[in-house]
Structure formats: C-alpha cells, structure tokens
Amino acid sequence: MKTAQFRLLLGFAVMLGAITVARSAMDVPAPASATGEKLYVAIEYFDPAAFDRLRYSALTGDEVILSTLKATAATQAQAAGYNGEVAVLDDGAKAPEGAPVLRLTWGIAAGVTVDLLEGGKSTYLGIAGRLPLTAHPDHDSMQRRLDKALMPASHQDEALRVRTEMELFTALQYVVEYRQKSSKT
C-alpha cells in the first residue's frame, strides 16, 4: 500500500516539476526571427494512403491538417517568436524560387520531421510533436477545446487540430532557434 502511495506521490511531483519548467520557459521572451521574411510551409508524407486516413475529420470528412495549418499559421508564428510572415502552401504547390520553405513530413512513428530548405540546401531541424501541450503559450485554451469535445469522433478531430498546431508551433520554434544560432556563427 505504501509503495503505491509513494509511486503516486512521486508521479505527481515529477508532473508538477515538468509543468513548472514548461511555464518558466514560457516566461522567457522568444528570440525574434533573424530576417523577418516570408516563410512557406509545405506538407509532405511518406505514405499517401496512411496520411489520407489521418488527415480527414472523423466527424465531417473534411480535411483537417492543411486547413488547421492555414488557419493558425500567424498565431503559431507569433507564439513561437517568428516575426516574419508564414504562408502555408496547398498540397503539392511549390514556393517561389529561392524562398525559404519549412517542410513538415508525416510518416514516421516518432512524429513529424521538420526540415528548412533555404539557400539551395536542406537542413534537418528535428521532430515536432515531442513537446507536451503545456509547452505552448496558449495550452490552457487548447486543453479546454479538447475537454469540450466529448464525443469520440469530435474528440479525435480536436486532438488532430491541437496536435497539428503543436507541430507547427514546434517547427517554427526550431526555425527561430536555428536562425539565432546561425547568426552567431
């Protein structure tokens, strides 16, 4: 009995510590984008059939991922500290020649891979989706949206929207951090 109580107390302490660290990290102002230019976001995927099963609403059948990226790009850029404009490309569309492109690729179990294409080269920035929801500055609102979606299909759709927002937020943070490090060297 005491072991179960200890595990519960230890789990609570770890969770409280993680929340405290995430909140303190949010209080630090995010670094600004180095250039403030327009950044294009392109989606890619390894398995088109699997991506199609993932990207559509369980409730209405509408496309969710691309529409969420487009609807929240400016908000996520601001939250991530990216000062430039963010434009989400339609599926299969190409950015103007020479423009920087943030490529989000679905298809691995670990999450969405993030690459920055600029200056003729591709730079792998990491995997989005590893941060907890509490790492987002607007996590309370996002959590409330999830909590309000009670029916399984609506909850599944809202979870996909929130996860997509977090992946874009994380990817834009990677860009800001990468450019900040590049400007120091």
Task: Give the separation between CA 165 and CA 171, rounded to whole angstroms.
Answer: 10
Residue 57: the pLDDT is 87
**Paired residues of 56 in beta bridges:** 63
pTM metric for this prediction: 0.77
For the four alpha carbons of 184, 179, 119 and 104, in that order, the dihedral sign comes to: positive
Task: Give the separation between CA 23 and CA 176, rounded to whole angstroms.
Answer: 19
Q: What is the CATH number of the domain that holds 179?
A: 3.30.160
Beta pairing class for 86-88 and 39-45 = parallel
Nearest residue to 114 via CA among 54, 16, 42, 61: 42
User: Is 66 within the bounds of a domain?
Assistant: yes
User: Is 23 within the bounds of a domain?
Assistant: no
Structural domains counted in the chain: 1
User: Is 52 within the bounds of a domain?
Assistant: yes
Q: Domain residues for 85? A: 32-184
Cβ–Cβ < 8 Å for 155, 149: yes
Structure tokens at 2: 């005491």
User: Is 24 within the bounds of a domain?
Assistant: no
Residue 26: the pLDDT is 43
User: DSSP letter string over 114-141?
Assistant: EEEEETTEEEEEEEET-S-GGGSTTHHH
pLDDT tens across the length of the chain (185 residues): 444 443 443 343 334 343 443 444 444 333 334 445 899 999 999 888 888 888 888 888 899 999 999 999 999 999 999 999 999 999 989 999 999 999 999 987 668 999 999 988 999 999 997 778 888 888 888 899 988 988 888 898 999 999 999 999 999 999 999 999 988 87
Residue count of the chain: 185
User: Is 97 within the bounds of a domain?
Assistant: yes
Q: What is the DSSP letter of 146?
A: H
Residue 36: the pLDDT is 59
User: Is 174 within the bounds of a domain?
Assistant: yes
User: Is 21 within the bounds of a domain?
Assistant: no
Task: Give the separation between CA 102 and CA 98, rounded to whole angstroms.
Answer: 13
Task: Give the separation between CA 144 and CA 34, rounded to whole angstroms.
Answer: 34
